[in-house]
């Protein structure tokens, strides 16, 4: 425990100059907010750690296996679970990190995912937006369920870090290609199927978005994605247990089997016979208060109600018009959110796993919502400006 306390001091000290680099680049970057976010995330790392003390989690095996399961570090360099053990191997075996120190280290990775998503939101949203008097982007950054599942030794923290980095890179592609590539590489090694969805989403966004992206950048990304997906196709398909010769049939069989297995676990719900829209609703907005009693269930339910209230905006008459003229980032977010939701919504039927898995993609839904609100504010501002210009033109002095 002393080692974890010392590591916390070191990580906090390392965080300060890195945050200052972002502050020097972006005047709107809120150092004070990021400091609070750091300690908020550490709090959830502590909450997760206390929870693990009472019920064993995968994080324990991620810490134990690198100590005996491999003859060398590179033996663990594979996709999925083994990649988490690959990342942890040198810290555990060379630097002798304790379990608490590894939990803190991976939590720190999760924190940087929030920093990247914060920048992504801020540089693509023009106006201030409030919910019950609170800045909406600030509320996004402090959603408790997002922090809980990204604050421990495991896939959740590192894939969130990778997705945040990739999204940050895509936001300003011209100057952040390395961030995009590095983020996508992390996503691929942790969850290859999510990498597939991200690759498709990026391509759709670039070629359908309304912003002026140079053609050479579009084709560069297209060629790179085509090569990457060709090389990684078999790995991605085999990772999720599908048959490359019969993708539709094998996915249907896989989803039915997976749903049955998970529904028989604790907190399982049988959604195999749900209509598709109900499966998606379950993935996005459940548990609600009647599903999950207890303090944790209430906290998660409050967050899901928040998602529901914001999602109501997407049913407004002007949303489709906005979406048609939206940027590549909005369309990328939509494809990634819907594609991942369809895949996971078909296979997950355990509440705990649903709550954990959806934390990967909910920021993309929130980005779509807030950019729509931004679009609406822009229309109002434009009308006011036009009215003011007409009034000025019609004044006697002119």
Alpha-carbon distance 158 to 103, whole Å? Answer: 12
CB 251 within 8 A of CB 242: yes
Q: For residue 325, give every residue at least 6 positions away whose Cβ sits within 8 Å of its Cβ, in sequence order, or none.
A: 210
Predicted pLDDT at 263:
46
Predicted pLDDT at 34:
96
Predicted pLDDT at 243:
42
Predicted pLDDT at 236:
57
Six token digits for residue 17: 């100059």
- Tell me the pLDDT tens digit for each residue of 341-393: 887 766 655 666 777 888 889 999 999 999 999 999 988 888 777 777 667 67
CB 86 within 8 A of CB 76: yes
Alpha carbon 239 to chain centroid distance?
Answer: 20
Predicted pLDDT at 249:
46
DSSP assignment of 62-130, as one string? HHHGGGTS-SSGGGG-SSTHHHHHHHHHHHHHTS---HHHHHHHHHHHHHHHHHHHHHHHHHH--S--E
pTM, two decimal places = 0.88
Beta pairing partners, 134? 131
Tell me the CA distances in angstroms from 47 to 241, 288, 354, 361, one per residue in order: 34, 22, 20, 23
Predicted pLDDT at 349:
57
CB 52 within 8 A of CB 64: no
Q: How many CB atoms lie within 10 A of CB 397?
A: 4
Predicted pLDDT at 13:
97
Beta pairing partners, 135? 130
Q: Which helix (H) or strand (E) holds 326?
A: none
Determine how β-strand 130-131 pairs with β-strand 134-135. Answer: antiparallel
Alpha-carbon distance 161 to 123, whole Å? Answer: 18
Q: How many CB atoms lie within 10 A of CB 212?
A: 6
- Tell me the pLDDT tens digit for each residue of 132-141: 889 999 999 9
Bond into 287 cis (ω within 30):
yes
Give the chain's residues under pLDDT 70: 210-218, 221, 225, 228-273, 292-293, 345-352, 389-390, 392, 395-398
Alpha-carbon distance 119 to 109, whole Å? Answer: 16
């Amino acid at each position: 425990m002393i080692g974890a306390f010392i590591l916390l001091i070191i990580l906090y000290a390392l965080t300060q100059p890195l945050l200052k680099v972002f502050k020097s680049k972006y005047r709107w970057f809120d150092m004070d907010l990021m400091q609070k976010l750091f300690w908020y995330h550490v709090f959830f790392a502590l909450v997760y750690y206390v929870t693990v003390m009472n019920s064993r989690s995968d994080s324990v095996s991620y810490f134990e296996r690198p100590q005996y399961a491999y003859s060398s570090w590179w033996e663990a360099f594979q996709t999925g679970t083994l990649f988490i053990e690959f990342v942890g191997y040198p810290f555990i075996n060379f630097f002798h990190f304790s379990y608490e120190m590894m939990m803190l280290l991976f939590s720190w990775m999760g924190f940087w995912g929030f920093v990247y998503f914060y920048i992504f939101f801020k540089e693509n949203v023009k106006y201030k937006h409030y919910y019950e008097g609170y800045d909406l982007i600030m509320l996004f950054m402090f959603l408790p369920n997002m922090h809980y599942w990204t604050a421990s030794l495991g896939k959740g923290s590192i894939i969130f870090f990778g997705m945040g980095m990739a999204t940050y890179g895509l936001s300003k592609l011209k100057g952040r290609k390395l961030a995009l590539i590095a983020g996508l590489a992390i996503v691929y090694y942790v969850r290859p199927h999510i990498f597939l969805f991200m690759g498709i989403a990026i391509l759709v966004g670039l070629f359908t978005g309304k912003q002026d992206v140079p053609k050479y950048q579009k084709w560069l990304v297209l060629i790179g994605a085509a090569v990457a997906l060709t090389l990684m196709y078999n790995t991605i398909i085999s990772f999720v247990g599908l048959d490359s010769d019969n993708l539709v049939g094998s996915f249907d069989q896989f989803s039915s089997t997976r749903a049955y297995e998970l529904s028989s676990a604790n907190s399982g719900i049988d959604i195999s016979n749900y209509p598709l829209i109900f499966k998606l609703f379950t993935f996005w907005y459940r548990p609600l208060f009647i599903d999950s009693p207890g303090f944790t269930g209430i906290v998660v339910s409050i967050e899901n109600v928040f998602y529901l209230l914001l999602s109501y905006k997407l049913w407004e008459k002007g949303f489709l018009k906005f979406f048609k003229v939206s940027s590549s980032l909005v369309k990328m977010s939509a494809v990634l959110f819907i594609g991942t939701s369809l895949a996971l919504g078909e296979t997950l039927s355990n509440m705990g796993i649903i709550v954990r898995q959806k934390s990967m993609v909910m920021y993309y839904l929130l980005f779509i919502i807030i950019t729509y609100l931004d679009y609406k504010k822009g229309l109002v501002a434009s009308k006011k400006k036009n009215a003011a210009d007409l009034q000025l033109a019609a004044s006697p002095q002119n």
